[in-house]
Structure 1
Amino acid sequence: MTEHARQRIPPFMRQLLAVSGVVLYMIGTGANIAYPGVLLEQLRDPQSTLKLTEDHESWIASILGLALISGILAAPFSLQRLGRRLTNQLSTLPAMGGWALMVAAGGPAALLISRTLQGFAMGLQAAAAPVSIAEYSAPKHRGAFLATIAFSFAAGMLVAHILGTLMFWRSAAIACGSFYLVSLILITLSPETPPYLASIGKFNECRKAFRWFRGHDHASEKELEILLNSQKKEVNEVKVNRYRHYRSVIMKPEFYKPTVIMMFMFILFQISGMTVVPSYTVPMMKEVTDGSIEDYTSMLMVDILRFTTAVVSCFVVNKLNRRTVLFLGVIISVVSLLSAALLLYLRDLEYIPEQYKWVPVIPTLGYIFGKTLGILPIPWTIAGEVFPLAYRSLGSGVSGMFLSLMFFVVVKTAPTSFREIGVNGTFCVYAICISICGIFLYFLLPETKGKTLYEIECHFKGIDCEMIKTDGTEHDNMLELVKVEVGRDDGE
């Protein structure tokens, strides 16, 4: 292929194509999370032929969390043995099967099986999405591309609620499931990620894929050479003493430090109400508004704010430091939750006049804004950056377990929490938990903006080396260091 032919499609557009396949999948994931918000409302209609008990409703909303565990457990094996691309492709199949069963469901059992299939697929993708996007992306675009995961969640939630408001729930399920089909097509059009090809010793294929994604400029070629040389060293080490290599993984700081960070990240993600609010938007906002705003209007108001903020976060994450965005979101969320709880408490005591009973809506929307701006995008951004390539699949799986467990616990207990301590008490619990996670992350989380994945790996390894600059200038010290460690080129 000539240089002219190579440049017909800019590298950014090729990265965008690959990322779009994952983004569409995550839109489907957002729809999965939010769909019970409209499904359960329609099934509560006295004229509905499909009847559910309150216990059925809580299981339909929360079973995704349990099913996520099976997908998370399968993810490390799939990502390492099958690769990022094939894992993304295969994960669309149970998702589409789940939506198809949802369309045909005749009773609670079919709905639960449908949600279980969707949850398994979500578990696979929860590990695969940030890893895939990070490995597709150039450092200067990686923050914005990883932030599209947050955008995708918000878009999927908005789409599910709009479709569920305008359409019968079975028709809405067909529309939501169609995102996975388009996702499968786009993923199939993209090659495997270069870091994965390098990690399994396919260095020639890695070169082709890397240049397909990143072009042939000087800075990219330097980064490619470092990637290849560092992975030749890893491959040789594993070949020499594989058992000893894997036994020592858990004790390595470049594995356990990112894993602990992501544990707190995903606990923060779930305990902030990230999946509770979409599943129970209508009953939550009904209590917040005290009937002053129509139910579906308040639901769509929340969705539109979340979607708009998620779009803004794509730019904010790419412009500001990761830590700045995260802690800004944490502070706004905590202050807004406590303010909303206080106003709800005062309203219950009748200290707020009747004409102002809608006032708690303002801090509640502030809470939605804060968690969508910082708490939604940053965990997924960091998840794609902090794990070294050699342990990326395993680390994503281990930390993802906390995501799935917390998903189930928080969503399953939400109806009881709303009933026993009210929305104001639940908001206080969320605020306290967000604060605790935020304090831990303040001391644990390093800044990753603008760094290559190898530079971040060096940070956790404690290697003090010169960093490759992402603006086209570079220092050769790190490249020479890697070459010395490798010793020779292995014929490549």
Structure 2
Amino acid sequence: MAAKKIEIVPTRTMACENEKQPVSPFLRQLQAVSGVVMYMIGTGANIAYPGVLLEQLRQPDSAVRLTPEHESWIASILGLALISGILTAPFCLQKLGRRLTNQLSTLPTLAGWALLLTAKDPIALLMSRSLQGFGMGLQAAAAPVSIAEYSSPKHRGVFLATIAFSFATGMLVAHVFGTILYWRTAAVACGSFYVVSLILISLSPETPPYLASTGKFNECRKSFRWLRGYDEDAEKELEILLNSQKKQTITTPKVSKLKYYADVVRKPEFYKPTVIMMFMFVLFQVSGMTVIPSYTVSIMNEVTGGQIESYTSMLMVDVVRFISAVIACIVINKLNRRTVLFLGIYISVASLFITSILLYLRDFGYIPDPYKWTPAISTLLYIFGKTLGILPIPWAIAGEIFPLEYRSLGSGISGLTLSLMFFLVVKTAPALFRAISVKGTFCVYGFCISICGVFLFFLLPETKGKTLYEIECHFKGVKDKAVQIEMSEKDRMLELEKVEEG
């Protein structure tokens, strides 16, 4: 009889609670995620802004005079500044939480855009870009973690894919505003996304996994149910989360920081995801993900042979990127993560090599003058491929792959790889263009993408449809997750029985 009562009581309670939630869990999750999404639109604008800024500053009547060296630093210094934000992020995520870290990350970026408005020399431009990069570094670690922890397994893929959509939207916005507006006015439009982001983040709760990891179990239940509702699957996932963290609190002995980190780096659930994410973010950067937006005008001018107006070709790239990002949001929720990633890799590598071959053939006179623009077709196909798979999947995996205990540390280390590669790839791009031209640079990028793809083919597991706890079990080598879930359910029933008897 007791067992029967235990089954009935929570069901009645859940039904009553569900009546109190006029807004669906999906919309609540969407609200929580939207603040991060708005920030990432700003990040896309940050990355793409040099593409229009530098073109306007090259004009004879420019308010700020730049040398080629200044230009390369303005485009690439975000990567160096990202490092400082990335190194700060693990502490902020662990000690301050996901929500407060997201809020704080908006402040330096807003300050950077404000400084850009008043800049009168290259030093001020570099300082403004550095402030933007620091904020982006904090958010680069916080964004995928926050989105993954806010989302249910059913919606996590599409929500994480919105990072790619946000980048593409921000790049399109920056280039459109930079084409029709003066660069200072365009900066106001781009910076406004961070104001909206701060407001939306402030309206959202802290993520349930972070609250559980800090022992705030009642607050965790409240946040989880606000986001996910009270259905049976959600309640099971909540109890598994709470039980795993209670067990972690009981069984983890206190040790020195040095010994703790020495033990952590030897654990497969830490080093395996970290290695995978390092390859992911190297792939992300060597695919030209941040180079193309920064130097779109000059790249497309060479690719089209000057037969398509520079700003027109730039907007063509942005439109293809935006449409591809929309498709990625749909595809990533329908197909496996690995399928989408490797489809993007195959398309990108083939397109880069085809573009290079066409450019070489054009240089040798095998393509008639009226058709000199044809390499633009394969270049746009390359933009489609990398935006479809190489842009969204690393961010989706970054939010899923790290165990809760090491999520802040793992995100920081992998983010450090991202920022270093950002700086190296963008800083060396002008030198590569001068030394081996766009066609040679595309060959280098295609070769590097292929190498990263081979490693990821053997290292990357499939994560679609799995809870964050199930992914953690995979890297720990725990095979029989059903037993653990069953034990968690027994613990939950015992807890309910005590409440009922009380």
Aligned residues: 481
Q: Does 1:260 align with 2:266?
A: no
1:85 to 85, 96, 99: 99
Structure 1 partner of 2:229: 215
Q: Identity across aligned pairs (percent)?
A: 72
- Partner amino acid, structure 2, of 1:363: S
Q: Does 1:250 align with 2:265?
A: yes
Cα distance in structure 1, aligned partners of 2:216 and 2:182: 49
Over 3 Å counting, the alpha-carbon distance change for 1:86 and 1:363 in structure 2 is: same
- Asked if the contact 2:43/2:167 (under 8 Å) is kept, the reply is yes
Q: Which residues of 2 match residues 444-463 of structure 1 at below 5 A? A: 444-463=459-478
* Higher-Rg member (1/2): 2
Q: 1:245: Cα distance to partner?
A: 4.3
**TM-score relative to the length of structure 1:** 0.95
Deviations 1:79-120 (A, max 9, x none): 000000000000000010000000111110000000000000
- Asked if the contact 1:238/1:245 (under 8 Å) is kept, the reply is no
- Asked if the contact 1:62/1:412 (under 8 Å) is kept, the reply is yes
Q: 1:355: Cα distance to partner?
A: 1.0
Q: Which residues of 2 match residues 128-207 of structure 1 at below 5 A? A: 128-207=142-221
Over 3 Å counting, the alpha-carbon distance change for 1:402 and 1:240 in structure 2 is: closer
- Partner amino acid, structure 2, of 1:110: A
Structure 1 partner of 2:431: 416
- Partner amino acid, structure 1, of 2:103: Q
- Asked if the contact 1:237/1:245 (under 8 Å) is kept, the reply is no
- Asked if the contact 2:239/2:489 (under 8 Å) is kept, the reply is no
Q: Which residues of 2 match residues 303-342 of structure 1 at below 5 A? A: 303-342=318-357
Deviations 1:271-295 (A, max 9, x none): 0000000000000000000111000
Deviations 1:373-410 (A, max 9, x none): 00000000000000000000000000111100000000
Over 3 Å counting, the alpha-carbon distance change for 1:53 and 1:267 in structure 2 is: same
- Asked if the contact 1:229/1:483 (under 8 Å) is kept, the reply is no
Structure 1 partner of 2:290: 275
Deviations 1:329-349 (A, max 9, x none): 000000000000000000001
- Asked if the contact 1:266/1:403 (under 8 Å) is kept, the reply is yes
CA RMSD of aligned residues (A): 1.7
Cα distance in structure 2, aligned partners of 1:182 and 1:318: 27
Cα distance in structure 2, aligned partners of 1:120 and 1:196: 23
State the SS of the aligned residue for 2:367: coil
**Contiguous gaps of at least 5 residues in structure 1:** 468-476
- Partner amino acid, structure 1, of 2:461: P
Q: Does 1:405 align with 2:420?
A: yes
Structure 2 partner of 1:372: 387
Structure 2 partner of 1:31: 45
Over 3 Å counting, the alpha-carbon distance change for 1:4 and 1:211 in structure 2 is: closer
Cα distance in structure 2, aligned partners of 1:245 and 1:413: 38
Structure 2 partner of 1:478: 484
- Partner amino acid, structure 2, of 1:400: G
Q: 1:246: Cα distance to partner?
A: 4.1
Structure 2 partner of 1:382: 397
- Partner amino acid, structure 1, of 2:189: A
Structure 1 partner of 2:26: 12
Q: 1:479: Cα distance to partner?
A: 2.3
- Asked if the contact 2:98/2:146 (under 8 Å) is kept, the reply is yes
Q: Does 1:105 align with 2:119?
A: yes
Structure 2 partner of 1:393: 408
Cα distance in structure 1, aligned partners of 2:289 and 2:207: 30
Structure 1 partner of 2:317: 302
- Partner amino acid, structure 2, of 1:328: L
- Asked if the contact 1:337/1:431 (under 8 Å) is kept, the reply is yes
Q: 1:234: Cα distance to partner?
A: 1.4
Cα distance in structure 2, aligned partners of 1:485 and 1:225: 9
- Asked if the contact 1:44/1:51 (under 8 Å) is kept, the reply is yes
1:432 to 447, 456, 468: 447
- Partner amino acid, structure 2, of 1:165: T
State the SS of the aligned residue for 1:292: coil
Structure 2 partner of 1:57: 71
Cα distance in structure 2, aligned partners of 1:291 and 1:31: 26
